[in-house]
Amino acid sequence: MHATVMTPSRRLIALAMALALAAIVAAPAGAAGRVGPRGGAFYDPPKRLPAGHGKLIWQRPATKLTPIDGAAVNKTILYTSRSPQGEKVAVSGSVSVPPGKPPKRGWPVIAWAHGTTGAADSCAPTRIRPTGPLAGYVAYMRPQLERWIGAGYAVVATDYQGLGTPGPHPYLVGKAEGRSILDGVLAARRLVPGLGRRFLIAGHSQGGQSALFGAALSDRWTPRLKLRGTVSYSPASHILEQAELLPALTSPNPLSALAAMVISGASTTSDEIRPRRILSPEARPLLPQIEQLCLSQLAEPDSFGGIAPADLLAAGVEPDGKIGDALANMNPALRIGPPILLAQGTADTTVFPSFTDMLAAELDGRGDDVDYRTYPGVDHGRIVDAAGDDVIDFFARRLPAR
């Protein structure tokens, strides 16, 4: 066997080819190969965002409360979306994928929309620590998420616009929340090619309202995805009607924290809605806390929880005009199309059953296919477990996992 003698020119060619090959191997395969920065810098997007919505910016292994036990892949993602005003925004979220080989048509996806945690960046579910004061606002859902992974569904969860990432959080602004849900699925499919086009949406409380808005938007916003059904647990609804009841609540109440967040969220829809003019002199100094503290802290007696809902608004302020329009537009009584499972506990004192009764009738009146189920004695937090079997049956009928 004779050794090959390389001339200087051949060595240069070989070296050039080796360097070219190394560059190809090292280059990221699109955004899916781009690992985001560590720590909080992950949530600060680059100055130039990718064109279009639902594009993956970067990803990293999920940490804190985000990983779902039993999943083979747990990633935190940053992706693009559009605000209701059409501006480019970055949104954070997570992707969890079952173990094994995906089905022929790809893993069926459940897009999960979480309940209210707050409006400050630290309140984003992907940022919450297992030992933190807000852990319970996320951990209660763990058994159901693990059940969905075990049944063979991938789970894509959004943090929502402005929650974890720069900009205000448009709390209960349906278009912002719905786009966040749908764009998360698009971005996840760029990260995990094994995810299918068919998906379901599920959400609780704020997320129950968000889920219905996402479902209503899906055909227009993400026409290449195929929504098969929506689960809405105890959705926020009839916000305007609830605002009109504030004068009747004359004792300090944690609900004042939610009402203050609603006003803050509504202000993102119009420059004419100015919370400092809407809130009472007692509540006005607490306004910065909405961008600093999470719901459990805002509900404390030394924050909005120490104010009676009747004393939250300035004298003479009524929920009408621009603010009234914004609150009315938060009601998720929409034409949706694919079937809806609507679940409500009769002992819920956060989302009152009477409002969900009204919503069910409104959805039915719009021609939606609604399966409305009530659970006697079940409160706001326990509804996801109480409805667990019915939800997994609904998923299996609408989009079998295997």
Given a cut of 60, whether residue 11 has pLDDT beyond it is: no
Predicted confidence at residue 32, as pLDDT, reads 59
Q: Which CATH class is domain 33-238+336-398?
A: alpha beta
Contact, 309 vs 151, CB < 8 A? no
Report field, pTM of the whole predicted structure over 0.85: yes
Position 10 scores a pLDDT of: 42
**Residue 84 burial (C-beta neighbours within 10 Å; 0-12, 13-18, 19+):** middle
The string of pLDDT tens digits covering residues 78-134 is: 999 999 999 999 999 999 999 999 999 999 999 999 999 999 999 999 999 999 889
Residue 336 above 90 pLDDT? yes
Q: Is residue 398 pLDDT above 70, yes or no?
A: yes
What is the tens place of the pLDDT at every residue in 183-213? Answer: 999 999 999 999 999 999 999 999 999 999 9
Domain ranges across the chain = 33-238+336-398, 240-328
Under the banding of pLDDT at 50, 70 and 90, the label for residue 402 is confident
Average pLDDT, the chain: 92
In one-letter notation, the amino acid at residue 340 is: I
